[in-house]
Chains A and B, each alone.
Chain A
Amino acid sequence: MMETLDQLFVLLKRWVVGEFPAAWRLWLSPLIDAGAIIGVFAGLFAVTTLLERKGLGRLQNRMGPNRVGPFGVLQPLADGLKMLTKEDIVPRAADRVVHFLAPIAMVTPILLAYAVLPFGRNLVAVDFDAGLLFFFAVGAGTELAVFMAGWSSRNKYSLLGAMRGIAQMISYEVPLVLSAVAVVLVAGSLSLPSIVDSQAGYHWGWLARWHVFTPWGLAGFILFLIAATAESNRSPFDLPEGESEIIAGHLIEYSGFKYALFFLGEYLGLFAVSALGITLFLGGWQAPVPFLAWVPSYLWFGAKLLGCIALFIWLRGTMPRLRTDQLMNFAWKFMLPLVLVNLVVAALWHGTAAWGFFGAGATRWLLGGAVLWLTYSALSHALFTAPGRGPRTYRYAD
């Protein structure tokens, strides 16, 4: 019974496809996958906009939306209607074709990235041998979309915002990919379902074998989360579209449905990269404790995804925005060395996997943790005492 419930969507799709003539099945199967992914994650987007506005409202000591429907739950619907019916304004000097194509070029690669993510046991659209590489490859397409949006608007603020955005995305892609490489090193595979399988089982019958419970996994997960926040242009890394500095950056000349598409792309990117983090470090769809393993796998995945979204909303309500030079220094001088050391620690962890003496696990943990901690403290000490850095001085008008 629980087995059937766990495989519900897989069986359902198999049944639907089986009802059609054989000639159609080849085309129908990917169409159903794509439809399901778009439907589910567009729905999640609608729910998240409401949750975010409510959550931010609470963090800022106000109510949040509460006018449309009970407790404001129909607010996403109202937002959607507003976006759809708004006038679509294109500047006269804009490059019309590129301006039109930019939102499409933004959303399409992000939707493609969902194809390789395992949402549950056997619940993956395409199991590529190099799935992780596919995820990062299609993610690279969004950088061009940002440039297209910024350049085609013919507005200096939008171009400036686009350049900032591209610089930020390129800089943070390095730690993002390198923190994922540590997982590949230990799991020995680039295929996301087999990375999930490599985290199956429990230590001593209760502690899940997730990568986040290893020293390199913990450091890698934190680095991954930071880089993911920057990749998806979210606060505190939202300076490409900082409203108070460059009036929304590359989005400034977009209105109506095109703006909604960019908004959708941003949130879908956030979900995708969170889902990747869950798959790499948090055991994917695996249950955290063995006695709850009967709960269907996609529910575990959804719960972890919602947890990640909650964390991102919390971060957005808590952190102030960075400056461009702080952003770049942080990526290249702090995250890059740390993530490289993390790679070495992962190799160390993998190399000492055969240790069998009593307390070997604890020794490996302490060893890896000590290396990472020493690097972290040395780096922060070096950066805080670098020449040119001192107490901040303020000048006030007399």
Chain B
Amino acid sequence: METAFYVLAAVTVAGAVAAMALPRLVHCTLCLAVAFVGLAGHFLLLGAEFVSFAQVLVYVGAVAILVVFAMLLTRSADAPPAWVVSRPGLLGVGVAVLVFGCLAATVAGSGLAGREAPPAPEVTVKALGERLMAEYVVPLEVVGLLLTAALIGAVILALEDRAKGGT
């Protein structure tokens, strides 16, 4: 278990770092997908099968592909920018370190740090589904409505495009 955790952690962190550091956007996307898969492995290690598989299905299967399409449509995949150390970049690193420090200090100072971990509940997919369809059915429906609205909006955008373009 310990070994698996460290291997997965190394893969996830390496993937995430590479996703930010590599010059070519396509490589970044692929590394991001690796980081997503590593995260899914962590969920699996924690016994959250459903979350783990949903993570792969949504993030690797949909989000990474979406990024790829966006990249190819905007042609930003072609030109790798030269490695530059810019002032905004350095400033960003500084801000990130500060934010992390603040958060870490707050969490360490709160009561959370010394608390015993609660026993992991046995969550089956069936229980998850029943909760989702009974207790949380209203939020689920609202999310569904929102996504449908987004889908219809996308279709309308595409239709207007064609009407203007002729053919």
Contacts and interface: CB of A to CB of B under 8 A. Distances in A.
Nearest to B40: A137
Contacts of B68: 144, 147, 166
Given A129-B124, A189-B126, A144 B50 contact: no
Contacts of B62: 140
A258 to B, nearest CB: 17
B60 to A, nearest CB: 6
A139 B60 CA distance: 10
Contact of B57 (A140, A159, A188, A190): A140
Instruction: State which size class the interface on A falls in.
Output: 20 to 34
Nearest to A101: B30
Nearest to B61: A140
Q: Chain A at the B interface: mostly helix, strand, loop or mixed?
A: helix
A144 B49 contact: no
Contact of A143 (B27, B65, B77): B65
Contact of B65 (A137, A139, A147, A159): A147
Nearest to A191: B125
A136 interface: yes
A63 interface: no
Given A98-B26, A130-B125, A151-B77, A141 B60 contact: yes
A7 to B, nearest CB: 27
Nearest to A173: B61
A56 interface: no
A322 interface: no
A31 to B, nearest CB: 16
B33 A137 contact: no
The size class of the interface chain B forms with chain A is: 20 to 34
A133 interface: yes
Contacts of A166: 65, 68-69
A170 interface: yes
Interface in A137-194: 137-141, 143-144, 147-148, 151, 159, 163, 166, 170, 173, 188-190
A128 interface: yes
Interface in B28-73: 30, 33, 37, 40, 49-50, 53-54, 56-57, 60-62, 64-65, 68-69, 72
B53 A133 contact: yes
A315 to B, nearest CB: 26
B65 A170 contact: yes
Nearest to A189: B126
Contacts of B72: 159, 163
Contacts of A163: 72
Nearest to A133: B53
Contact of B56 (A128, A138, A190): A138
A129 B27 contact: no
Given A130-B53, A133-B50, A144 B126 contact: no
A134 interface: yes
A296 to B, nearest CB: 30
Contacts of B37: 141
Contacts of B69: 166
Interface string A86-99: 00000000010010
Contact of B33 (A134, A139, A144, A190): A144
A188 to B, nearest CB: 8
9 contacts: A129-B50, A136-B53, A137-B53, A137-B54, A137-B56, A140-B57, A140-B62, A151-B77, A173-B61
Interface of A: 95, 98, 128-130, 133-134, 136-141, 143-144, 147-148, 151, 159, 163, 166, 170, 173, 188-190
Interface of B: 26-27, 30, 33, 37, 40, 49-50, 53-54, 56-57, 60-62, 64-65, 68-69, 72, 77, 124-126
